[in-house]
């Protein structure tokens, strides 16, 4: 009886030792990453808070940044062209925007060997930049660019994280351990979870896009504008929800007041 128990105890300690050997380097590496990881910067958008609303001028600028910079790799599969009416565009303007975004089809153009395209209509969802995940990975060193429709909700830190990530690219610090330094196609960004991200800096210089309203297109401004736009794609009904919420609160306040006044009127002369 003693021998089996001793074997079990011995096996337990051997397993604990192996676990410690396997986990210790990983734990140490995570601790090293935390020492260099930065929390998201502060970001204040018009849509923040219970009185949040959309700054349509900023959203239009953000759409321009997305279209001219981000759309080459990242899709917006949950957004249709007609949704852009909410950004202050009329139907003709939406059609003009859609016309510059040809829709790829599953057929192959026999003359070029490439995917055939068709003219979009405003009820179409925005086209994906790649036909499938295999093509996306092949074009991005095996990294898969995520769809951005819900990105500000899908990532911890939300909009401030995205803004920080876009403006956070820099050279690795001199004291960064060798095992944490970016290699190959990776780029150092202290706002990214493991410090090294496959996406190269998308916003690299002032004037990378030209804003129609004359706003100076600094890297910081472009990052704020596209972040605001992606907050809208993730929750386009936010302003309407806020308006309904305040209307409902007002209704409940009036109803509560009337109910209390009725109570006082009916029971004022009643004795307990």
Say if residue 44 carries a ligand binding annotation: no
Q: Is 73 annotated as a binding residue?
A: yes
Of all residues in the chain, what percent are helix, strand and coil, respectively (each to 5)? 50, 5, 45
**Burial class of residue 189 (count of CB atoms within 10 Å of its CB; 0-12, 13-18, 19+):** buried
Instruction: Please tell me whether 242 is known to bind a ligand.
Output: no
CA distance 221 to 218: 5
The residue behind tokens 């079990």 is 8
74 is in an annotated binding site: yes
Going by C-alpha positions, the residue among 140, 138, 164, 152 that lies closest to residue 73 is 140
Q: For the packed helices 158-167 and 219-234, what is the interaxial angle rounded to 10 degrees? A: 150
Binding residue ranges: 70, 73-74, 199
Annotated binding site for heme c: 70, 73-74, 199
């Amino acid at each position: 009886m003693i021998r089996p128990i001793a074997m079990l105890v011995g096996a337990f300690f051997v397993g604990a030792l192996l676990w410690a050997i396997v986990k210790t380097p990983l734990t140490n590496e995570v601790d090293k990453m935390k020492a260099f990881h930065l929390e998201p910067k502060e970001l204040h958008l018009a849509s923040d808070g219970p009185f949040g609303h959309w700054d349509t001028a900023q959203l239009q600028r953000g759409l321009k940044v997305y279209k001219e910079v981000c759309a080459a790799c990242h899709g917006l599969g949950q957004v249709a062209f007609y949704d852009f009416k909410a950004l202050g565009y009329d139907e003709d303007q939406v059609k003009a925007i859609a016309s510059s975004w040809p829709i790829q089809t599953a057929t192959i153009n026999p003359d070029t060997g490439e995917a055939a395209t068709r003219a979009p209509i405003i009820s179409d969802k925005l086209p994906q930049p790649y036909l499938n995940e295999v093509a996306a990975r092949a074009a991005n060193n095996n990294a898969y660019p995520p769809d951005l429709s819900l990105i500000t909700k899908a990532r911890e830190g939300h909009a401030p994280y995205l803004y920080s990530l876009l403006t956070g690219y820099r050279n690795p610090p001199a004291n960064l351990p060798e095992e944490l330094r970016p290699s190959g196609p990776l780029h150092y960004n202290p706002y990214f979870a493991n410090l090294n991200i496959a996406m190269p800096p998308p916003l690299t210089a002032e004037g990378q896009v030209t804003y129609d309203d004359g706003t100076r297109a600094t890297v910081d401004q472009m990052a704020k504008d596209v972040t605001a736009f992606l907050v809208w794609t993730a929750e386009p009904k936010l302003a309407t929800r806020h308006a309904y919420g305040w209307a409902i609160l007002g209704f409940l306040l009036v109803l509560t007041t009337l109910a209390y006044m009725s109570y006082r009127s009916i029971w004022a002369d009643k004795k307990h």
